[in-house]
Amino acid sequence: MKRTELDKWIKDTEALPELSREGLEAVQLKRLNETLERVAARGGVYAGYPRQLGSLEELQTLPFTTAEQLSRRSSGFLLTSQREVERVISGATSGTTGAGKRVFYTREDMEDTVGFFAAGISEMLPAGERCLIAFPFTGPFGLGDLIARAVEKLGAEPVKAGYGVSWGQLCTLVRDTRPRCYIGFPAALLGLGRMYGPGFPVERALVSADACPEGLMEEIEKLTGSKPFPHYGSRECGLGGAVTCQAHEGMHLRENHIIAEIVDGEGRPLPPGEYGELVISTVGLRAMPLLRYRTGDYTRFLPPCPCGGVTRRIDRVSRKVEGADMEKLDEALFRIPGLVDCRAEFDGELRIGARVLEPGLEVEIERAASACFPTLPVHVSCAICSMKDGPMYPGKRYVIER
């Protein structure tokens, strides 16, 4: 089996003769101590932290960084001058409340992300092919732009679909360009394929920016004829965090730039195989490295990969949600072949608005939703999806609470 391309990218990026576990951890410790020296000189949020640690294990003695701290004191984490900042991502993430987080990046941070993206995308995209990119294009160093640059780096052609356009516009673009690869939200890919109908040309997909429940992944595999390549990323980790190799068993972490931990509810480290919260230290970022940041995402470390890669892997990522959970709902509902998309609201009762290919699916959708949430009253309304419609969420999918 082909070894993950991420290992080669890390080896080349770090100028290592070979990539080994010991060598990778030495890179991590060096970067961690360089970061500690920088935060000591800066002060700010991490004032009073030690300048050096003797081992990676000692990282666990440092306090956690929380999303609340990041929202409240974003500028206190910045280690460069404002002049060196090339990109800022700000605002609340879909499904969250409270003040939005501002995360800063230098040009070098973004170039590293392009390299990481290219390594992950190369698992499915050969040179010369077209790849549909269904993420927002918000200008230079925006997510769509970074992915397009990674695709071009591989000698392939990006088809810039963007996000928020209608199914009709997307279907026309796909019909005209015939892309064999797709990069974008998972539910949007399935909806596009179902609206397009027979002859859908996409054969391989890297899906990201949202939960990837098993039911949805299985339907995408039926649609494309191959297993999708989930990717994990967030603004806090520089947009790129972990990618899937051709073994399709978990996601390899960007370990030259990210030190990952899995902790329990009390913040205690968990051994490989046990589920807990993912904690990241982004020691490869220049503008705004974070130390022991609690992501709110839940996963586990997996055993060494069958591909023979050195980098550690995490399992499918989810979020802990009280009450009605969109990931759980998507797991069940997208197994219904006639469903194109759905939107859920909760106001003491679960209300699902669905767009479908054919009439008469209300009972089936209600039955599937009620099986997920047997204690909640469920109400379903369906409308036939038209080519003028588009995805029902502007980004991540979540139950909207009223």
Phi-psi region of 6 (alpha: psi -120 to 50; beta: other; left: phi over 0): alpha
Find the DSSP H helices in 197-314: 214-224
CATH code of the domain occupying 1-320: 3.40.50.12780
Q: Which residues of the chain have pLDDT under 70?
A: 92-99
Backbone dihedral region for residue 185 (phi beyond 0: left; psi -120 to 50: alpha; all else: beta)? beta
Alpha carbon 364 to its chain centroid, in Å, reads 30
- Which residues have C-beta within 8 Å of that of residue 223, sequence separation ≥ 6? 189, 190, 193, 194, 200, 202
Question: Yes or no: is domain 326-401 CATH 2.60.120.10?
Answer: no
**What residue ranges of the chain are covered by domains with CATH 3.40.50.12780?**
1-320
Q: What is the pLDDT of residues 94-128, one digit of tens each?
A: 444 445 789 999 999 999 999 999 999 999 999 99
- The answer to whether 293 touches 236, Cβ cutoff 8 Å, is yes
The confidence score (pLDDT) of residue 99 equals 55
48-93: pLDDT as tens digits? 999 999 999 999 999 999 999 999 999 999 999 999 999 999 875 4
Give the residue range(s) of CATH 3.30.300.30 domains in the chain: 326-401
